């Protein structure tokens, strides 16, 4: 099988591990920088070119698209879909999961546990917004933020009002969520592959930090998850339409709540914390499903 990995950097841990796993399973693999791909959007004969070379004969594509280049990256992925190439995660599913507001609305509609979440645009509505979210502390998130950037903990109502006013004054779109104090600055990353949680780790924020992202100095360790947490993670990934996803959960007093569904979850933290060969499980998923034009959307939408 001929597999393409869309990644800006072949030396990144996740990209490197996926390359190694694909080769160990006997596949031919190539890394393409999606920002260097360009497309010929022609009826019946769509094509992709890379550094003056036409890309042909590809069986499957693994998208490792950064949040800052989602628009162009998913356009390239959609072109592969139009060519009948099997995508590990579809372009529509990636776009859906990257839209924090849309993803929260979709999860809520299906009854997935979530922190109480508010969304408003006018400074005149801040008071009512905070009343609807409830509690004394609030988490305020930029919709465009990633890896914990643009996430602020307001420890009281006055602080929340000031932060929200500042963000809205900059024409930023934000979500306001209840602060799950009992989580203690920790979350659980469930790694879902092909409808199963194949690995899970607990991420703990560093001293005095409520964000548990490993990029922000958090630590990770193996964790045993409950059947409810496992079911929640699998359902969340399925609602987003993702074959591979990192589902971040918090343990609240009223059960697991989903913080985010990540369409390009990193492999380094989960593999080192759990000792599992997650990269090989991803390749096995591709081997199982990679038939021509096996996408729900076939590049549409």
Please give the pLDDT value at position 230: 97
DSSP run (H or E) holding 154: strand 151-154
CATH of the domain at 229: 3.30.470.20
203 found inside a domain: yes
**Do 175 and 234 fall into the same domain?**
no
The total number of structural domains in the chain stands at: 3
**Do 123 and 206 fall into the same domain?**
no
Q: Domain containing 153: what range?
A: 117-179
Please give the pLDDT value at position 195: 95
**Do 123 and 81 fall into the same domain?**
no
Report the relative pairing of strands 60-63 and 2-6 from DSSP bridges. parallel
The DSSP result for 27-41, as a single string, is -EEEEE-GGGEEEE-
16 found inside a domain: yes
Please give the pLDDT value at position 268: 94
DSSP run (H or E) holding 258: strand 255-262
169 found inside a domain: yes
Please give the pLDDT value at position 211: 58
Q: Considering the entire predicted model, what is its pTM?
A: 0.88
CATH of the domain at 144: 3.30.1490.20
What's the pLDDT tens digit per position in 270-300?
999 999 999 999 999 999 998 765 666 544 4
Q: Considering only CA atoms, which of 59, 71, 1, 72 is closest in space to residue 33?
A: 72
291 found inside a domain: no
Residue 229, burial from CB neighbour count under 10 angstroms (0-12, 13-18, 19+)? buried
What's the pLDDT tens digit per position in 31-61?
999 999 999 988 778 999 999 899 999 999 9
**Do 164 and 203 fall into the same domain?**
no
**Do 82 and 151 fall into the same domain?**
no
Cα(84)–Cα(44) distance, rounded to whole angstroms?
11
Cα(26)–Cα(4) distance, rounded to whole angstroms?
14
Using DSSP's 3-state secondary structure scheme, residue 200 falls into: strand
The list of the chain residues with pLDDT below 70 reads: 145-148, 205-218, 292-301
**Do 65 and 139 fall into the same domain?**
no
Last residue of a domain, which of 151, 179, 207?
179
Cα(238)–Cα(250) distance, rounded to whole angstroms?
19
Please give the pLDDT value at position 292: 63
Cα(98)–Cα(101) distance, rounded to whole angstroms?
9
β partners of residue 32: 6
């Amino acid at each position: 099988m001929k597999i393409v990995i869309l990644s800006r950097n072949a030396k990144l841990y996740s990209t490197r591990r996926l390359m190694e796993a694909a080769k160990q399973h006997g596949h031919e693999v190539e890394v393409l920088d999606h920002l260097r791909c360009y497309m010929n959007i022609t009826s019946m004969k769509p094509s992709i070119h890379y550094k003056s070379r036409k890309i042909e004969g590809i069986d499957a594509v693994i998208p490792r698209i950064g949040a800052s280049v989602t628009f162009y990256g998913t356009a390239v992925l959609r072109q592969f879909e139009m060519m009948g190439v099997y995508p590990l995660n579809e372009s529509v599913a990636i776009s859906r999961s990257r839209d924090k507001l849309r993803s929260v609305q979709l999860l809520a509609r299906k009854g997935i546990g979530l922190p109480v979440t508010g969304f408003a645009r006018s400074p005149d509505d801040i008071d009512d917004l905070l009343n609807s979210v409830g509690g004394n502390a609030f988490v305020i998130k930029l919709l465009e933020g990633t890896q914990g950037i643009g996430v602020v903990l307001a420890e009281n109502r006055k602080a929340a009002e000031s932060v929200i006013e500042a963000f809205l004054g900059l024409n930023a779109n934000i979500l306001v969520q209840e602060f799950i104090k009992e989580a203690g600055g920790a979350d659980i990353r469930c790694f879902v592959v092909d409808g199963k949680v194949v690995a899970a780790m607990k991420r703990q924020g560093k001293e005095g930090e409520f964000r548990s992202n490993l990029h922000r100095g958090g630590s990770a360790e193996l964790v045993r998850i409950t059947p409810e947490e496992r079911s929640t993670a699998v359902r969340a990934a399925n609602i987003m339409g993702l074959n591979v996803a990192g589902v971040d959960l918090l343990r609240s007093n009223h059960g697991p709540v989903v913080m985010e569904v990540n369409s390009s979850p990193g492999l380094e933290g989960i593999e080192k914390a759990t000792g599992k060969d997650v990269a090989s499980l991803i390749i096995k998923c591709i081997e199982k499903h990679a038939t021509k034009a096996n996408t729900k959307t076939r590049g549409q939408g």
